[in-house]
Amino acid sequence: MRKWLNIDLSFSKREFNGILILIFIIGIITAVPSVYAYLVPDRDDLPAERAALKKLVLIEARLKKTNLSKWGKVKPKEIKLFNFDPNRNSRAQWESLGLSPKQAQVLINYVSKGGKFRKKEDLQKMFVISAERYKALLPYIYITDHGKQDTAYQSRYPVKAAPVMVDLNTADTTELDKIRGIGPAFARRIFKYRERVGGFYKKEQLLEVYGVDTVKYKEISGQIKLSNQPLTRIFINTIDFEKLSRNPYLKFKEVNAIIQFRKQHGNYANIADLKKVVILSAETVEKLMPYISFEQ
């Protein structure tokens, strides 16, 4: 082989020895993995691995005992359906019927503030009751007749007199409380808001009162009226910052802008001048218009 390499490739003795050493090293490197696998076989069942597996099994068993799922979430509470009167249900009973604590509290608050379910369909109007939940509960709803209510229930949820027509602009809190669907808390809110805004010029302004949504408004709109009681005017050319800031339609920056514009440009002559205050939106100006007076 050496003679052949010398003849054909012109290798010197030193170069030939180097090639042999290189081939020997490559052979050793190639054989090492096989030798290692033969001498040191895989050990799949090491003590540490067995201990880790046992620990995982114990954790899974513990999660099951604490009523938790694999991902750590609380399993759904078991729903128990039973005949019930939505006007009498406790929070715990609502939760047993499948409602969350927050949903149950909304219904409790509604009844405690004078709300009343007079027919089964009234429960469907509550935003916390989904269509699917209402369908499931419908066969179990039994509303007690007013004449057959027990004394304890009547003392807690007194039945209001026949529907009355209440004037929003002149009624005090006692008169407002006579409206079906309005309890003492709502009566106070409506009264305070009327004082702040300066009176109501349309029924829809009730939707601006905290807690009065479209469902509540529809329930009470037929029991209210508006007299020709004059609105409390805002004398825009003389009112000071403190009094103007009480208006619920204006924010701090808007009040400041109105006062500063008046100082810089003089008194407002008409509504067009008020619209020149850049920070005021068209919607805000429209709400203020019935109350604004440009008298000096």
pLDDT for res 69: 44
pLDDT for res 225: 92
Q: What is the mean pLDDT of residues 242-257?
A: 94
What Rg, from alpha-carbon coordinates, does the chain have? 41
Q: Are 123 and 106 in contact (CB under 8 A)?
A: no
Rounded CA-CA distance 217/222 in Å is: 9
Bridge partner residues of 84 (DSSP): 141
pLDDT for res 7: 53
Map out the domains of the chain as residue ranges: 2-39, 91-156, 166-225, 234-293
Cα–Cα nearest to 237, from 257, 256, 263: 263
Q: What is the mean pLDDT of residues 9-15?
A: 67
Lowest mean pLDDT among 158-162, 191-195, 213-217, 245-249: 158-162
- Matching CATH topology for 166-225 and 234-293? yes
- CA–CA distances in Å: residue 30 to residues 23, 26, 33, 34: 11, 6, 7, 8
Question: Domain 166-225: which topology?
Answer: DNA polymerase; domain 1 (1.10.150)
Bridge partner residues of 234 (DSSP): 292
Instruction: Write out the CATH class of domain 234-293.
Output: mainly alpha
Lowest mean pLDDT among 98-102, 238-242, 258-262: 98-102
- At 274, is the pLDDT very low, low, confident or very high (cuts 50, 70, 90)? very high
pLDDT at 127 over 90: no
Lowest mean pLDDT among 220-229, 231-240, 268-277: 220-229
